[in-house]
């Protein structure tokens, strides 16, 4: 594993510890996002597309992390994938899933199985990552169109903004262009979403 091979008083170890911290923080705030949906019995302004893609992305991230030999990458998937299922079940129960939502979920499940069996894990991770990035953009667009933050929680947006910065530093340290590109774009999208959260209060 990359982190164990280079463990010590160095920048990589510091980044590794920071990624674990933010993964746990994101897991907690992801739970709070799901709890918010269940408590309000509503997923108003919460993008189904975003959370379906996030679910597939975090499971794929586990496989990529194992392939890469990175505890940080794999752990971030392990920490957040189950929470995404909690959010999805809440959205399905209180908002319902369209045929397109169910189809996308099936495609991502099939992609995960393909990645596990395929030797092109890096390529598949990249494709799923770009799909997830497209889904991230759906959240600020939905807030802007509906003119309300709805059931979107501020905590998870702030955690994602700062965790993206940590992952950018980590990707630079291990020289992984795929991770770097994903988190650079994610940082911009989460920042925009946070700004819109303040601009549009709950109706």
pLDDT by residue (tens digit) across 76-129? 999 989 999 999 998 888 888 889 888 988 998 899 999 999 888 888 988 888
pLDDT by residue (tens digit) across 39-84? 887 777 677 888 888 888 899 999 999 988 888 889 999 998 999 9
CA gap 26, 61 in Å, rounded:
15
Q: What domain count does the chain have?
A: 1
pTM to 2 decimal places: 0.77
- For residue 137, the enclosing domain spans 2-199
């Amino acid at each position: 594993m990359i982190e164990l091979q280079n463990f010590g008083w160095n920048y990589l170890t510091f980044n590794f510890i920071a990624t674990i911290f933010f993964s746990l923080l994101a897991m907690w705030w992801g739970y709070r996002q799901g709890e918010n949906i269940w408590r309000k019995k509503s997923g108003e302004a919460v993008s189904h597309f975003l959370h379906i893609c996030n679910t597939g992305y975090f499971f794929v991230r586990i496989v990529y992390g194992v392939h890469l030999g990175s505890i940080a990458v794999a752990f971030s998937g392990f920490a957040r994938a189950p929470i995404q299922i909690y959010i999805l079940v809440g959205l399905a129960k209180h908002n319902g899933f369209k045929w397109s939502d169910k189809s996308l979920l099936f495609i991502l499940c099939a992609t995960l199985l393909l990645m596990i069996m395929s030797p092109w894990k890096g390529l598949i991770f990249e494709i799923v990552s770009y799909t997830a990035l497209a889904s991230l953009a759906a959240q600020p667009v939905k807030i802007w169109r509906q003119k309300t933050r709805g059931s979107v929680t501020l905590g998870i947006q702030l955690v994602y903004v700062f965790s993206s910065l940590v992952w950018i530093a980590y990707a630079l340290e291990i020289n992984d262009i795929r991770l770097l590109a994903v988190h650079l774009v994610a940082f911009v999208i989460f920042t925009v979403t946070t700004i819109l959260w303040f601009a549009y209060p709950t109706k």
